[in-house]
Structure 1
Amino acid sequence: MTLDKAAGAFALLAPYESLLLAVSGGPDSVALMLLCAQWPERASHEIAVATVDHGLRADARAEAEQVGEWARSLGFAHHLLSWEGEKPQTRIQERARAARYALLADCATSLGSGAIVTAHHADDQAETILFRLTRGSGVSGLAGMAPRSNAHGAPLLRPLLAFPKAELVEICENAGQRYFCDPSNANDAYARARLRKLMPLLAQQGLDRTALLRLGERAARAEAALASCAAAAHERALTETAPALAGFDAGALTELPLDILQRLLAREIARLAPQAQLRLDRLERAADRLSRALREKAPLRLTIADLLIESDGNNVTLRPAPPRRSA
């Protein structure tokens, strides 16, 4: 049953001739490697394994090297990637995750891999949705992790989102395959570890993994509907486009619901400033200010993500903001 389920899940990987598996050595990623080794389409794909040593634990290097031995025993080339340099003292998990994806993307590029594959599973998905719920996330955040996304320009695939963690552990144990357990997963210094310990209590109140995944599925459907409406509104309102410019008819934007206007702005900001780290609260404030200015037919000039948004009552434009004057 598990192999049949995996074959269906791995349809996500089939279009990519070359794949890079991110394998940390935990049971989830080791199970991913085992399932790929048994994948009926394995022979028609070039599959390599990469392990990141973040340099944060004394045992990390030896564990990464052991993963290399396991990978090679299954016929996979292995690449050990190191996070070099001085490590940050704050937001360590967030920054380690960013460094990990950057290293994986660089490795995928150097190998010519079409996509990076991670072992995020159903428990990870439920935990992510709960974490975002506690942070007051919007609809797109509550949708959780998408099966297909992007990491530093490389396609990022998550074929195991329907697999509970217990099922992945069972795959390893049935194969007699060892794996490692990261002690940071139980460290109360990290918010996700604290949430993980709350899960049994929340489950008693009905907010279990199934309920969280159901919330994520509903949020994903709502997000898809909103995105479709925003795309149609974008097409109707767009009057001018260039690599460093977007122009819209103010009248076509005036009656848009705030959430649609917000997504329309987000789409153009992503195009004009792809490297910008756009926070939801700042986007919400910008969309609200623009919406009020349009309704009142008042001029507006604001900056967000190093872009200048201007409205004169007839047209709305987005373009790179001019350099700030030095003091």
Structure 2
Amino acid sequence: MDDAARFRADLTHAFGRGYDGVLGLAVSGGPDSMAMLALAVEALDGRVSVATVDHGLRPEAAEEAALVAGACAEFDVSHVTLTPGAAIAGASLQARARAVRYELLGRWAAAGGVGAVATAHHADDQAETFLMRAGRGSGLAGLAGVRARTTIAGIVVVRPLLDWRRAELRALARRRELRFIDDPANADDRYERTRVRQLLDAHEWLGPANLARSASYLAEADGDLRAVVDWLWAARAMTDGDDVRVDATDLPREIRRRLVRRAVTVVRAVIGLTEPVFSEASNVEALLDGLERGRRVTHAGVLASVREGRWRLRPAPPRRQ
């Protein structure tokens, strides 16, 4: 199987079907995303549209965007550079930059008739993510790592390169004589990912491909559990505006953990609560422990109580000044 056919098969696997629309590509100018650009152009007969996000955090980013634009001109595909309307600042800069990046890509895709956006995450990225999250004590959803297909900021995001190694993508870019730029942050050991990457490079016996494969198995198991939770939510949950009630009797803790996260998410969505940040990866152990003891617990702006195994979650009353 040649490279383009392999990429096409991986894309089909990520979507779960053949894809016949225009595929958006998030291309940064690094070797991985430049290799993805070449593969997608060939595999999809040019049915691609490309975006580069300049977060405004590094002066070199404009040069990198220009490099991608030049490559797209040679491939005869459209390219746009996306920039945020306001400077990205504050704590958790990388997390904020990621959120802005996907928001920009989502708006671009929706405006341009792009059905999905592909990113160049690969097997080594997956292995690094697995180790980083394992080091933090993440549960199943976290250890499942980067998903082959997900939805972020309202747009379908696919990762067709999760079975490709970093080295083979770089080699492909060199064979195609593609210009690319190595992000200097990749060598900056102030970042956790860089330190984990150095660990894997120094200890090949850790097997990045096998770690990535383990993450994919966990993602499959996580998907099955999500389906079970969907079924239980339909059967056992009742919602009345911002008042949610869930029958959680006789359920395993992992299922209850996921149900209570969903209940909190539903209440917060109804009242438009965005602070404090809450996601499907948020720690809810104290909340679950409190409910199991029959206590009233406030978590992420939501008041939870329990009676005869049935939870009730609703907006927490405002704090007294």
Which TM-score band (shorter chain)? 0.7 to 0.9
Look up the match of 2:45. 42
Residues 199-232 of structure 1 deviation map (CA, whole Å, 9 limit, x = unaligned) = 134434xx22133123213322432343344334
Structure-to-structure mapping, 1:103-114, within 5 angstroms: 103-114=104-115
Please identify, of 8-17 and 159-168, the stretch whose mean Cα deviation from structure 2 is larger: 8-17
Q: Which amino acid aligns with 2:25?
A: L
Secondary structure, aligned partner of 2:182: coil
Look up the match of 2:239. 241
C-alpha displacement of 1:311: 1.9
Which among 293, 297, 303 is matched to residue 302 of structure 1? 297
Secondary structure, aligned partner of 2:216: helix
Q: Which amino acid aligns with 2:246?
A: F
Secondary structure, aligned partner of 1:213: helix
Task: Report the Cα distance in structure 2 between the residues aligned to 1:121 and 1:212, rounded to whole angstroms.
Answer: 12
- Contact 1:245-1:272 at 8 Å conserved across structures: yes
Secondary structure, aligned partner of 2:49: strand
Task: Report the Cα distance in structure 2 between the residues aligned to 1:242 and 1:9, rounded to whole angstroms.
Answer: 42
Task: Report the Cα distance in structure 1 between the residues aligned to 2:151 and 2:81, rounded to whole angstroms.
Answer: 22
Secondary structure, aligned partner of 1:282: coil
RMSD after superposition: 2.3
Secondary structure, aligned partner of 1:24: coil
Secondary structure, aligned partner of 1:42: coil
- Contact 1:133-1:142 at 8 Å conserved across structures: yes
Q: Which runs of 4+ in 1 moved over 6 A?
A: none
- Contact 1:147-1:161 at 8 Å conserved across structures: yes
Question: Structure 1 75/271 Cα, relative in aligned 2: closer, same or farther at 3 Å?
Answer: farther
C-alpha displacement of 1:110: 2.2
Q: Which amino acid aligns with 2:232?
A: A
Q: How many residues align?
A: 311
Please identify, of 169-178 and 6-15, the stretch whose mean Cα deviation from structure 2 is larger: 6-15
Look up the match of 2:134. 133
Residue identity (%)? 35
Look up the match of 2:116. 115
- Contact 1:21-1:118 at 8 Å conserved across structures: yes
Question: Structure 1 228/37 Cα, relative in aligned 2: closer, same or farther at 3 Å?
Answer: closer
Task: Report the Cα distance in structure 2 between the residues aligned to 1:101 and 1:302, rounded to whole angstroms.
Answer: 34
Question: Structure 1 96/184 Cα, relative in aligned 2: closer, same or farther at 3 Å?
Answer: same
Structure 2 residue 194 is matched with structure 1 residue 190: no
Task: Report the Cα distance in structure 2 between the residues aligned to 1:215 and 1:232, rounded to whole angstroms.
Answer: 26
Look up the match of 2:36. 32
* TM-score normalized by the length of structure 2: 0.88
- Contact 1:53-1:80 at 8 Å conserved across structures: yes
C-alpha displacement of 1:281: 5.6
Task: Report the Cα distance in structure 1 between the residues aligned to 2:183 and 2:297, rounded to whole angstroms.
Answer: 45
Look up the match of 1:176. 177
Look up the match of 1:74. 75
Structure 1: segments with no counterpart, 5+ residues: 294-299
Question: Structure 1 16/306 Cα, relative in aligned 2: closer, same or farther at 3 Å?
Answer: farther
Look up the match of 2:258. 263
Q: Which amino acid aligns with 1:136?
A: G
C-alpha displacement of 1:149: 0.8
Residues 245-285 of structure 1 deviation map (CA, whole Å, 9 limit, x = unaligned) = 32223xxx232111110011122333343555237463122
